[in-house]
Amino acid sequence: MLTVLVGAGIVAGSVWFLMGQQAEPATLQAKVSGTAVTPQGNLPHATLDLSIYPNSTANNPGPTGGMYDFVDKLGWPFYSPSTSLQLPAHSLVTVTVRQYDSSTTVWNPYFAKVHGTVDGTVKYNGVAKTQIDPADVAHTFTIHQYPQSTQPYFFVSVPMLAVGNNAKNLTNGYPKPEVMEFSFITGAPGNYVWNCEDPCGNGYVDFGGVMSERGMMSGKVKVV
Ligand SMILES: [Cu+2]
């Protein structure tokens, strides 16, 4: 019992430490170009490009400054170029993700399924799918409400396909990426959060460390 209490204290302590130190990275704005035909009529069309790296390298340092200069040395995975995202309201948003990390099996199969995209699918390297094998999930991109929010409902969750464990690194220090492309429709303006629901961190059930880290596996989504 004492061990459990001490363990819980360490988890709470490290979460407090990380929360207290968190800086918000510079905001990445989705680019609007033209309109798109959607199930909700013609809407402005915005695009957003993200990458997921398994670790930083000399040429790709990841988030820097403040505590990131410390966490970057731990070999943690991160979303790039930013985890602070801004999306236009009442628009079709198409996100392209280049994913360079290997698998950590997602424990809850719900997060191996696609939720909240326009037609319920994601294009994985050009092939539309509604889910992938939980064992092949590297990370997830999951947008949701703050707890007890009164804002419009907004939920999108996409499992990110892992590169093979034996994939060879190329000259840039990473293997050839898996490419995910998906679209969703935003509603009224509001403030949301996103995070990864795959246990890619460490500490308590692998949901510590990087998982709660702004700049790495969680961030803000502002709909304007
Ligand atoms: Cu992750």
| pLDDT tens track for 87-135 | 999 999 999 999 999 999 998 999 999 999 999 999 999 999 999 999 9
Query: What's the start-to-end Cα distance of the chain, in Å?
Result: 48
Ligand 1 mean position to 40 CA, how many Å? Answer: 32
Return d(Cα 194, Cα 141) in angstroms, integer.
7
pTM of the model: 0.85
Ligand 1 mean position to 49 CA, how many Å? Answer: 17
Residue 99 vs residues 7, 58, 75, 122, 192: alpha-carbon distances, Å: 33, 19, 16, 14, 23
Ligand 1 mean position to 101 CA, how many Å? Answer: 9
Ligand 1 mean position to 196 CA, how many Å? Answer: 5
Domain positions in the chain are: 2-223
Cα four-point dihedral sign 176, 216, 45, 186: positive
Residues 6+ apart with CB under 8 A from 108: 197
The amino acid occupying position 196 is C
Cβ-contact 95, 140 below 8 angstroms:
no
Ligand 1 mean position to 36 CA, how many Å? Answer: 31
Ligand 1 mean position to 55 CA, how many Å? Answer: 12
Ligand 1 mean position to 198 CA, how many Å? Answer: 5
The amino acid occupying position 156 is V
pLDDT tens digits for 19-65? Answer: 444 567 889 999 999 999 999 999 999 999 999 999 988 888 888 77
